[in-house]
Chains A and B, each alone.
Chain A
Amino acid sequence: MALIVVDVMPKAEILDPQGKAVTRALARLGHEAVGEVRVGKRFELRVEGEATEALLAQVREVAGEVLANTVIEDVVGVHVVDDAAAPQQVSR
């Protein structure tokens, strides 16, 4: 089992009202050091077996075609996380 993490962010030139709202809330709490917050998405894909280069290529394709809409978002990272270190879903 391997865990592949895909990070997606709104494009830099597109206003991020969610990030702006968080920025304002932090300022209100006195965290003046934080200049700007932008909010993106993290996808965790658990895959059977090893994260081979072929599988990663497949995930990059899915990331660009489904997980992100590249008209308004960028895929900023596709990486494999050491499974032992990854947070596991508690099975019931």
Chain B
Amino acid sequence: MRVGVVTFPGTLDDRDAQRAVRLAGHEAVALWHGEHDLQGVEAIVLPGGFSYGDYLRCGAIAALSPIMTEVVDAARRGMPVLGICNGFQMLAEARLLPGGLVRNASGLFVRKDQVLRVERADTAWTNRFDSGQEIVIPMKNGEGRFVATPEELARIEGEGLVAFRYVGENPNGSLDDIAGLTNEAGNVVGLMPHPEHAVELGFGPTTTRMKAGLDGLEIFKSALERVAA
């Protein structure tokens, strides 16, 4: 099946995301921010990077780009959409996911192999995991701290919209250790860590063996199986 990966000016991990899609056994379709054509894809990945130089706010200008009009429409119709890092920030700016992402509490850019707990194993992008399963995904960001008003946070927790939580020390001050969210329908998922960097032996996070982590691949396989089913 065809999975679109959108490139914006300043996107960094589009090629990595395309590669992850291919390693998951499917066709990666490059989509361009300035166009309205989704080229008949059945799922969409918004990859990481620093779109528009993080001007205004991270993901803010990208969320207003021509392709995002179509992405938002498709997401509302139920198409699986995954936002990684800057892509998660875009989904929050586009209000497809609640809350916002601001500068890390430490003020520092954080890069580490991060243990996450899968809180929701029934979304389009997490259905190959078990609920409560711990996975290792690399993270690398300066503005990954999830925030929301107390009322919004209560709604997020009440409706079970937390898809992933940080395990161990909270790396960036995110409320409730939130690393990723899903929408109510479960087709839109956003997370700060980078699953596309945990898809190939020798190039992934260090788990029981050096650079052997492949947990990210399951995320790319998930959506695809659900759509195929």
Interface residues, chain A, with chain B CB atoms under 8 Å away: 10, 13-15, 17-18, 20-21, 66-67, 69, 71-72
Contacts and interface: CB of A to CB of B under 8 A. Distances in A.
Indicate the member of B56, B60, B64, B106 with the most A CB atoms within 10 Å. B56
Interface stretch (B18-26, B74-82, B96-104, B159-167): B96-104
Given A15-B173, A71-B92, A66 B107 contact: no
Interface of B: 56-57, 60, 64, 92-93, 98-100, 102-107, 147-149, 152, 173
A18 B103 CA distance: 8
A88 to B, nearest CB: 23
Contact of B100 (A15, A17, A66, A72): A72
CB-CB nearest 9 A-B residue pairs? A72-B100, A17-B107, A71-B100, A17-B103, A14-B147, A69-B57, A72-B102, A69-B100, A15-B105
Given A66-B64, A69-B100, A71-B99, A17 B147 contact: no
A14 B103 CA distance: 10
Contacts of A71: 92, 98-100, 147-149, 152
Contacts of A15: 102, 105, 173
Contact of B104 (A14, A17, A72): A17
A17 B92 contact: no
B147 A20 contact: no
Contacts of B107: 17-18, 20-21
